[in-house]
Amino acid sequence: MRSPYLWELEAKNANKAGKPATASSSIDNSCYNGSMPFDLKPLRIGPLEIEFPVVLAALASYSDLPYRLICRSLGAPYCATEAMLDRQILLDGKLRDRLVRIDAADHPIAGQLMGNDPTVMAQAAAVLRDMGFDVIDLNFACPVKKVVAKKRGGYLMDQPDLALEIVRAVIEAVPDRPVTLKLRRTFRETDETNAAFRRIARGAFEAGAAAVAVHARSVGQKYRGQADWDFIARVKREFPDRTIIGSGDIHTALDALRMIEQTGVDGVLAARGAIGNPWLFRQARDLAAGREPFKPDLKEQREVISRHLRLAEGLYGPRRGLLTLRNFGIHYARLHPHPAKVRTAFISVKTDEDWRAVMETWYGAPPLSPL
C-alpha cells in the first residue's frame, strides 16, 4: 500500500512542474510539510543488521575514507569503498594504503573488488578480510569503457560462468564474511531476456552470497536514460527471501524512499545523488520519521565542507587534500543558492588562498586571524 505522505509529496512536486505525478517524476523535498512516518526495516547483509536501509554506494574517486566519515556523521549507516583492483590489493604500496584505509568509526564497511581471475579475486578478498573489512563486495557492474575493455566490472555481465566462478572462489576464501555482488540489468540494452542477470543472481545466492545490488540500467547504457525500477521490483519478487538492494536514479532522499516503497527492495544505494550531498542520509531518516527533511544552510554547508577538507588533508596531505576537495566542491556547489557561480569558483581553486577566498565569498567563512 502506498504511503499517503509520499503520494502527497509527489503530487505537490508534480504540480509545481505542471505535470502529473508518476513513478518517474523528479522530486525534491522542498514542499514537505510533515506527515506520516514510513516504516522501514533494517537492512540485513548476512549476520549484519544495518539499522537504516539507505546506504552509501561504492563511488570511484569519491567514497574514500574522508567522505565516508562525513556521510556517516550525517546518518549513513553503511558504506563501501571505491572499487579496488584485485591485484592492487595484493601489492603493498601507497595506492593500496590509501584505498584500504578504514577507521574505527567506519564500520560496517564493505571493500569492493574488481577483477576477472577467480584465484586472484579470492586472494584479494582474504587480504581485505584480514584488514578488518566487514563485507566483501564484488563489482560486476562498472560500465566504464576502459574497465570493460580489460574484462572487469560490467564485462562479467556478459560472462555468467566466469562471474559465478569468481563468486564461488571468493565465498570459499572468506567463509567468515558476507559476500555481496553489484550487478547491472543486462550487458546489452537489446537483451530483453535478462538471462545472464538471473543466472548470476540465482547462482550467487545458491553459492552463499548474502545480497545482490541491482543497478537498473544495462552496461551499454552506462548512466544514460532512466533506470528501470520495474526491473528491480521484478527481481525482488523473484527472490523474495533474499536481500536485494536497489540502485539507479537516487538523486534525493525522497527518491530513496520511493524506490523502497515502489520496488520492495531491502535497501537502497545512494550513489551519484550523494556526491556533494552527504545530508541525503539525514534527510532520508527525517522523511522516514515523518519529519521535514533537514535543509543545510550556508553555515552548515561551510562547516561540513571545512571538516571534509581537514579529513582529506589528514589522509592525503595538504596539497592533494586541497585538490580532492576542489573536485568535491564542484558537487557541493549544487546546494548553494548560486550553484553555477560557486561551481566556477571551486574549479579555479589552486592554492590555499584561493580556497579561503571561495569560502569567504560564498559561504561566509570568517577570514583567518593574523598570527
**Residue-range domain boundaries for the chain:** 4-288, 298-363
> What is the maximum alpha-carbon separation in the chain?
68
Lowest-pLDDT choice from 15-29, 128-142, 194-208, 289-303: 15-29
Contact 139, 153 (CB under 8 A): yes
Work out the average pLDDT over 59-68. 96
Name, in order, each residue with C-beta under 8 angstroms of 362's C-beta and a sequence gap of 6 or more: 298, 336, 338, 341, 342, 345
Q: Decide if 269 contacts 250 (C-beta within 8 A).
A: yes
pLDDT of residue 189: 83
DSSP assignment of 12-48 equals: HHHHHHTS---TT----STT---------PPEEETTE
pLDDT confidence of residue 8: 46
- pLDDT mean across residues, the chain: 90
Q: Report the predicted TM-score, pTM, of the whole model to 2 decimal places.
A: 0.89
Q: Percentage of the chain with pLDDT > 70?
A: 88
- Is residue 29 scored above 60 in pLDDT? no
User: In the structure, what pLDDT confidence band is assigned to residue 14 with cuts at 50, 70 and 90?
Assistant: very low
Q: Indicate if 31 belongs to the active site.
A: no
What CATH superfamily classification does 4-288 receive? Aldolase class I (3.20.20.70)
pLDDT digit string, tens, across residues 161-203: 999 999 999 999 999 999 999 999 999 988 888 999 999 999 9
| Residue with cell string 565516508 | 68
Identify the DSSP state of 160.
Answer: H
